């Protein structure tokens, strides 16, 4: 696998009032183009910090991150983030929220009609074109998150970064959005990194699962390959031996780590 994204011996520490706190230690990971990678671990293991480093929202303390051979050291439209909070502007319509991102990235390179078509194409991709003229207060939480995904995809990013995007949603809505993400990946073959606490979600969506040790000074404990063919169907996988074996491996890792913390 050729490294599309390379995280090379990255450390991250924060300092406050003269006290240094090391969050991540010696993180090295290579991700191929079109790959879906989930990062899972207990609270406080630095999952979101790692995602923020890839997004360029936080600077590494040491080491480096490369995307297509270029150093990542600042935010950029080639790395779009979808947070647990949809972050839509409530006074703008669904269409206008997506248009903000499109105008920012393509305002000088695409005509008004081309930008309109691109906005509607991405809303259609997440099945939200029918609500283009509604405001966030008029749609459900799951629909808001679909719009957030559409806005991120409309930037045409090289990597889509998902920080527990479905964590605040009910189980049924979450399942529908997981299916939507799988369909989008099947159509676009885009590269995704997702932070999650949900073992089933990680196994269902991922090509690999990166399991983090507990913090402080968290590191990569294990990396699990998910050898399940795509496209994946939730109900068909419910009794699949490979799915169940992968799920068991992740649960065992997390349980052993949790037991270690309790013992300490």
Is residue 201's pLDDT more than 80? yes
- Mean pLDDT computed over 179-198: 92
- pLDDT tens column, 50-101: 999 999 999 999 999 999 999 998 999 899 999 887 789 999 999 999 999 9
Instruction: Give the CA distances from residue 75 to residues 63, 79, 81, 240, in Å, rounded to whole numbers and listed in that order.
Output: 17, 7, 10, 40
Angle between helices 94-106 and 141-154 (to 10 degrees): 20
- Give CA–CA dist 178/173, Å, rounded: 9
* The predicted structure's pLDDT at residue 262: 45
9-15: long-range pairs with CB below 8 Å, 24+: 9/62, 9/63, 9/64, 10/50, 10/53, 10/60, 10/62, 10/63, 10/64, 10/65, 11/60, 11/61, 11/62, 11/63, 12/46, 12/49, 12/50, 12/53, 12/58, 12/60, 12/61, 13/61
pLDDT confidence bin for 258, thresholds 50/70/90: low
Mean pLDDT of 175-197: 91
Confidence of residue 257 (pLDDT cuts 50, 70, 90): low
Range in 30-34, 109-113, 214-218 with the lowest mean pLDDT: 214-218
Mean pLDDT of 38-55: 91
Asked whether the predicted pLDDT for residue 16 surpasses 90, the reply is no
Exposed (0-12), middle (13-18) or buried (19+): which is 18, by Cβ within 10 Å? exposed
% of the chain surpassing 90 pLDDT:
71
Say whether pLDDT at 120 is over 80.
Answer: yes
Q: To which H or E segment does residue 219 belong?
A: none
Domains and CATH numbers, the chain: 1-42+51-78+159-248 (3.40.50.300), 85-156 (no CATH)
pLDDT band at 174 (very low <50, low <70, confident <90, very high): confident
In this structure, what token pair is assigned to residue 237?
């996988």
pLDDT at 42: 86
| Mean pLDDT on 18-31 | 92
Q: At what angle do helices 141-154 and 112-125 cross, to 10 degrees?
A: 130
pLDDT of residue 264: 40
For residue 136, pLDDT beyond 70 = yes
pLDDT digits (tens, 9 = 90+) for 202-247: 999 999 999 999 888 999 999 999 999 988 988 889 889 999 999 9
pLDDT of residue 202: 95
> Please, what is the average pLDDT of the chain?
91
């Amino acid at each position: 696998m050729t490294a599309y994204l390379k995280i090379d011996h990255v450390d991250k520490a924060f300092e406050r009032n003269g006290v240094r706190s090391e969050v991540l230690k010696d993180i090295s990971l290579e991700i191929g183009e079109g790959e879906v990678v989930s990062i899972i671990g207990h609270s406080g293991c630095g999952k979101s910090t790692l995602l923020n480093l890839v997004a360029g929202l936080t600077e590494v303390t040491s080491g480096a991150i490369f995307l297509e051979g270029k150093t990542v050291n600042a935010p950029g439209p080639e790395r779009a983030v979808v947070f647990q909070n949809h972050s839509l502007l409530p006074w703008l319509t669904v269409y206008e929220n997506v248009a903000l991102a499109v105008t920012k990235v393509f305002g000088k390179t695409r005509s008004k009609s081309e930008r309109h078509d691109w906005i509607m194409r991405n809303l259609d991709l997440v099945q939200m074109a029918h609500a283009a003229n509604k405001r966030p207060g008029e749609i459900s939480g799951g629909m808001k998150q679909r719009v957030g995904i559409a806005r991120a995809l409309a930037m045409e990013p090289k990597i889509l970064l998902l920080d527990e995007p479905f964590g605040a949603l009910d189980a049924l809505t979450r399942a529908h959005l997981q299916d939507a993400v799988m369909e989008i990946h099947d159509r676009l073959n885009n590269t995704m990194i997702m932070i999650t606490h949900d073992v089933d979600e990680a196994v269902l969506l991922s090509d690999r699962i990166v399991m983090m040790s507990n913090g402080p000074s968290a590191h990569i404990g294990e990396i699990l390959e998910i050898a399940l063919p795509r496209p994946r169907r939730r109900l068909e996988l419910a009794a699949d031996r490979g799915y169940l074996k992968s799920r068991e491996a992740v649960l065992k890792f997390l349980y052993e780590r949790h037991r270690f913390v309790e013992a300490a």
